[in-house]
Amino acid sequence: MSLNNLLAQRKTAIIKNWFTLAVETYPPDTASFLKKQKDPFANPVGRTVSLGLEGLFNELLKEMDYEIITSFLDPIIRIRAIQNFSPAHAVSFIFLLKKVIRENIKKEALEEQLFNELLLFESKIDQLVMIAFNLYMQCKEKIYDLKANEMRNSTYKAFKRAGLVRDWPVDEPDIKPNINE
């Protein structure tokens, strides 16, 4: 049996275990809430992570289309970027999939053919981490840009209120031919 077939058969258990480990990267109270609250409106973060992990796993079983991977990974990474995870911590949940897969296929992994397939599959997971890291950095750059613009605008408004800034009129330049010449 091929690794992809085996993983597809055990997909539900793998995704469930991966979700559990992924939410455990949050503080204990948050992790408990994310695991227990099933209402998507009361727990949008848990819902986003759950759907994202399932989509990512399905794509790892296929050819890994970059656009599809990004569509599942981006919402998760955006959440983690806003929550001020470090870059390593933000993407660490992806590495946890390796652990989950190894635990789910212990006996079968001893076969040499399956072991080689596992190594190839794990390199796809590593590629996923690199994509996630790039997404995280893009999100952080956007956050820093927004904060810098907010600071600049608030400083400008404070200076203007204090009378330290003067707006110059935006008139057309006075370019009239001098008739007296």
CATH number at residue 151: 1.10.490
Query: What would the pLDDT profile of 115-144 be if each residue is shown by its tens digit?
Result: 889 999 999 999 999 999 999 999 999 998
Residue indicated by tokens 């935006």: 170
Query: What would the pLDDT profile of 51-88 be if each residue is shown by its tens digit?
Result: 999 999 999 999 899 999 999 999 999 999 999 899 99
Query: Which residue segment(s) compose the domain that 142 sits in?
Result: 3-161
Query: Sorting pLDDT into bands at 50, 70 and 90, what band is 172?
Result: low
Is 67 within the bounds of a domain?
A: yes
CA distances from 73 to 66, 76, 120 (A): 10, 5, 21
User: How many independent structural domains does the chain possess?
Assistant: 1
pTM of the model: 0.80
* φ, ψ at 162 (rounded to 5°): -80, -5
Is 115 within the bounds of a domain?
A: yes
Rounded distance between C-alpha atoms, residue 15 and residue 32, angstroms: 17
Which residue, among 179, 181, 94, 105, has the nearest Cα to 136 in the 3D structure? Answer: 94
Is 99 within the bounds of a domain?
A: yes
CA distances from 81 to 11, 44, 48, 126 (A): 28, 16, 14, 20
Residue 96 CB neighbour total at 10 angstroms:
19
